[in-house]
Amino acid sequence: MITPRDIRNLLLAAAALGLAALLPFYDSGYILSIATTMAMFTVLATSWALFSGPTHYISLATAAFFGLGTFVTGLGFQTLPMWLLPLIAAGIGAVLAALVGMVTLRLSGVYFVIFTLGLAELVRQVVTWVQNRTGQRGMYVLTSITERDIYWQLIGLAALVFLVGWLIGRSRLGFALRIIGNDETVAKHSGIDTAMAKIVLFMISGAVAAVVGALLAPRYIYIEPSTAFAPILSFQVVIMALLGGTGRLWGPLAGVIPFTILWEFISRHAPNQTLLLLGVAFLLIVYVLPGGFVGLYDRLRRRFGAGGQ
């Protein structure tokens, strides 16, 4: 059932995305570069929250999917058509996510966190090993794709992710996931295939992260395992999503914008303190802002909204 409120929200979202798409006409230098980073994290954090928001399973595998995506582009951009590469990346991402999910998501959340914690490093070791065996080193991705193109592709992908998230939220799958997040035992007893629901969602989130990697590869120009699989990316995504809050679809976006600006500022002026920032942000989320900005917004609205009525 689509209500007038849904139509209003859809129109608002479309307008916001349209407005964001106009940015490259305004500036094609520093601001565009920051905006591209923001668009990248928006897609990553939103798709992360699709899975981890309702289930409370913290995935630290983003960097593994992302890195695989960049390698797909790096290896295939000379021989395969450009439009095919993100699709291949999505396929590989979904398969890896399905494998990881099948092994860990049947068990408790702790196993999943631990398994994903080392996943990027594991894939990096294997890729490096294969490269050493085949005598291959890092590779150059030299294309005619500009930052502006990448930005537009990311905005398009963001629109797709928001749409998918919206549809999942209204579907039986989304309902099932919310029950799993509230009480997994109850979910099992009401006949939900909990493992299956979790695996499907994790596959979506893994595929999206791989596509983002594939789209961004031309931006890096030079690709090697240690940068493509840098584990810090996974943590940045978790922080941004949780800082914004995973309770709503737009929540992660509310975390991405301030955190990207802050991160940019810190890495410019005190590059050695970025880890400290990451740590403080984690502690802040646990002790001061549980539920992120979305949680804060809801609490404020409840307090003042209730008083007004």
Partner 1 sequence: MSFILITGLLLGGTYALIAMGLNLQYGVARIMNLANGEMLVAGGFAAFWVYTAGQVSPIAALVVVAPLAFAVNWLIYRLMLQPLVKRAKSRGALEVDSILATFGLSFVLVGIMTWMFGGGYFNYSYLAQRVDILGASYGQNRVVAFSIASLMALALWLWLSYTRAGLRMRAVAVNPNSARLVGIDVPAVSALAFGLGGAVTASGGALISMFFTLDASVGVMFTMKALIIVIMGGVGDIRGTIVAALILGIAETFVARVIDPGLTLAAAYVLFLGVLLFRPQGLFGSKPT
Positions touching partner 1 (CB under 8 A) are 56, 58, 103-104, 107, 109-111, 113-115, 117-118, 121-122, 125-126, 128-129, 132, 184, 231, 235, 242, 272-273, 275-287
Task: Please identify, using beta-carbon distances, which residue of 77 and 259 lies nearer to partner 1.
Answer: 259
CB of 280 to partner 1, least distance (A): 7
d(CA 160, CA 154): 10
CB of 183 to partner 1, least distance (A): 9
CB of 262 to partner 1, least distance (A): 15
Distances (CA, A) of 118 to 106, 139, 218, 309: 19, 24, 26, 51
Task: Please identify, using beta-carbon distances, which residue of 164 and 195 lies nearer to partner 1.
Answer: 195
Task: Please identify, using beta-carbon distances, which residue of 111 and 220 lies nearer to partner 1.
Answer: 111
Task: Please identify, using beta-carbon distances, which residue of 212 and 242 lies nearer to partner 1.
Answer: 242
**To which residue do tokens 């609490």 refer?**
299
CB of 131 to partner 1, least distance (A): 10
Task: Please identify, using beta-carbon distances, which residue of 250 and 282 lies nearer to partner 1.
Answer: 282
Give the CA radius of gyration of the chain. Answer: 20
- 232 Cβ neighbours under 8 A, 6+ residues apart: 63, 278
CB of 286 to partner 1, least distance (A): 5
d(CA 165, CA 39): 16
What secondary structure, in 3-state letters, does 138-155 show?
CEECCCCCCHHHHHHHHH
